[in-house]
Amino acid sequence: MVNVDEFFARYEKGANSFDPDLMSSLYTAEFMAGDPNGVSCGRNDQALRDAFVQRKEFFWQIGFKRAKILHVEAMPLDEKYTMAKVHWHMTFEKQPGHPLDFKFFITYFLYDPGDGPKAAFWISHDDERRVMREAGLVPND
């Protein structure tokens, strides 16, 4: 498999730029995502690209500053699949001068079809929306 560190360097860049071309290049044609609330399936299509644009707008509204990968622990499962445990650090500053820092832990399952790894499934081990809601970044649903 192509270098997992290179993949996550691109992923971190996309997480900060919200570039829909870059981000969509990092996912398989179909993918799954899980968190403490359950699992969802998605397609790598125009709706996904639009979601990245909407995420950018939403994150800017709540004071997004940066996302940084702190650590990647990759474990090849076979010649096509790798499991990567990734620790993220995110900073928001909704109120100037009062930054809020969050650490999230996500496990990614990468598939390499031969031209580099792509995210096929990931599990966010934290309910990120709940964490941000409790910190006052997002309103109660």
pLDDT tens-place string over residues 73-84: 999 999 999 999
Specify if 141 maps to a domain: no
Q: What's the CATH number where 119 sits?
A: 3.10.450.50
Domain assignment of residue 64, given as a range: 4-134
**CB-based contact 63:94 (threshold 8 Å):** yes
Task: Classify residue 140: in a domain, yes or no.
Answer: no
Q: What pLDDT sits at residue 1?
A: 41
Separation of alpha carbons 67 and 101, rounded Å = 10
In a domain, 35, yes or no: yes
From 31, 25, 33, 29, select the one nearest 7 (Cα to Cα): 25
Is 75 a member of any domain?
Answer: yes
Cut 0.85: pTM above it: yes
pLDDT-derived band at 128 (thresholds 50, 70, 90) equals confident
Q: Residue 6's Cα: distance from chain center in Å? A: 15
Q: What is the pLDDT of residue 32?
A: 98
- Is 38 part of any domain? yes
Query: Would the pLDDT of 45 be above 50?
Result: yes
Q: Per the structure, how many domains does the chain have? A: 1
